[in-house]
Structure 1
Amino acid sequence: MNYLAHAALSPTSQQTLIGNLIGDHIRGSDLSHLPKAIEKGVRLHRYIDHQFDHHPNIVAIRRQLPNGLRRFVGISLDLWFDNWLSNHWHAFYAQPLVDFQVSTSQTIQQHIEWIPNSQKPFMEYLCREQLFLRYRSENQITKNLKLLAKRLTKSNGLLESLEWLKDHSDDIVTEWPNVYSDMIAATEEFLSQYDQ
């Protein structure tokens, strides 16, 4: 899952939200250097990614891809899912997406010292450009993948995998309400067990 889904699945704790957003940039299993709420968010991020990647519907999508694109689909699938979520936000949340973008941006700015240096430019971009709102546009998803492809050495399959997802979108997105509902339930289960 990508930034919007991770942020949306975070509990109300600001530090846990930060931990969930920085999860891909924190290495190792020893997280004792982080405040407890941020550590919780990092662990939540990892749990969400594991649950999403192993969800039967996501596994089935990956299996349908041509072999050469399977290694790239994780990134494009995460962004494509954020596109879907931003366009169906109202089906899951009463808070308008624009308000969620504002509150998330404020949280990021208030806790910027916990954002890893490798991630700060993107997080500033996310806030400045109101990226959660822009995720509604397929063009924005393509733009983000192109920017990411420039940073990766073997990235030629990123855009191809996104095009494949677009071509098969009708079949894929019909399952996404169920996938996201399962992710909400998995997150609630993780949080209830984590706090015990």
Structure 2
Amino acid sequence: MNFLAHAYLSGSDEELLVGNFIADSVKGRQKDAYPVGIRKGIELHRLIDTFTDTHAIVKQTKERLRPEYGKFAGVITDMFYDHFLAANFNQFATMPLLHFTEYVYTTVQKYATYLPTEVQYFLPYMIKHNWLYRYAQVSGIKSSLEGLSRRSTFVSNMATATQALELHYPEYQQDFYQFFPDLQTYVKQSLDLDGSHATNKANQVPS
């Protein structure tokens, strides 16, 4: 899953959110240098990624995309799923999407000293253009995929992926709605098994 889903699944735990947000820029045992709360967020992010990558519905989405987009099908799937979460955010949270994105940005900035260089670089652009909020529109996903395509070393065709989304929108949306409740349950169970989060806050978006 991409930034929005990872942030949402962190609930109202700020350090869990920060760790979840920066995890892609933290490699291997680098996580051990972080405070325990942020470290747990990094670990949760990795669990979410593994669960997502091995889920049958997600594999189904990727297979639809693979003939045209090859190894980039997984990245595109992540973006599509973040779009469906953003576009239907009121079904998952009482907080409006715009307010939630502001909460995410404010929280991550509070922990500026812990942000990896890569996150420090892209965060101002994310905030300025409010990527997380723009995911609710197909045009916002298109812009993000175009940016990923430009930065890719290999020819990816990602810039055209929203054409596939618009052409088969109901099918991809159904995949998301079948998958996401399973992910929510998995995250809740994972946090319940962690003694420090026995009363976990996953999915309890701050009010």
Q: TM-score, normalised by structure 1?
A: 0.92
5+ residue gaps in structure 1? none
Describe the superposition over 1:21-57 as per-residue Cα deviations: whole angstroms up to 9, x where unpaired.
1111110145221110111000111111111111111
Structure 1 counterpart of 2:205: none
Corresponding residue pairs, total: 196
Q: How large is the RMSD of aligned CA atoms in angstroms? A: 1.7
Sequence identity (%): 26
Q: Report the 3-state secondary structure (helix = DSSP H, G, I; strand = E; otherwise coil) of the residue aligned with 2:104.
A: helix
Q: Report the 3-state secondary structure (helix = DSSP H, G, I; strand = E; otherwise coil) of the residue aligned with 2:179.
A: helix
Q: Report the 3-state secondary structure (helix = DSSP H, G, I; strand = E; otherwise coil) of the residue aligned with 1:174.
A: helix
Structure 1 counterpart of 2:78: 78
CA shift for structure 1 position 161: 4.2
> How do 1:181-192 and structure 2 match up within 5 A?
181-192=181-192
> How do 1:66-145 and structure 2 match up within 5 A?
66-67=66-67, 69-145=69-145
Q: Report the AA paired with residue 40 of structure 1.
A: K
Distance 1:131 1:142 in 2: 11
Distance 2:148 2:66 in 1: 21
Runs of 4+ residues over 4 Å off in structure 1 = none
Structure 1 residue 22 and structure 2 residue 22: aligned? yes
Q: TM-score, normalised by structure 2?
A: 0.87
Pick which of 128-137 and 15-24 moved more: 128-137
Pick which of 44-53 and 125-134 moved more: 125-134
Distance 2:140 2:66 in 1: 25
CA shift for structure 1 position 66: 4.3
CA shift for structure 1 position 166: 3.3
Structure 1 counterpart of 2:10: 10
Pick which of 153-162 and 104-113 moved more: 153-162
Distance 1:77 1:151 in 2: 18
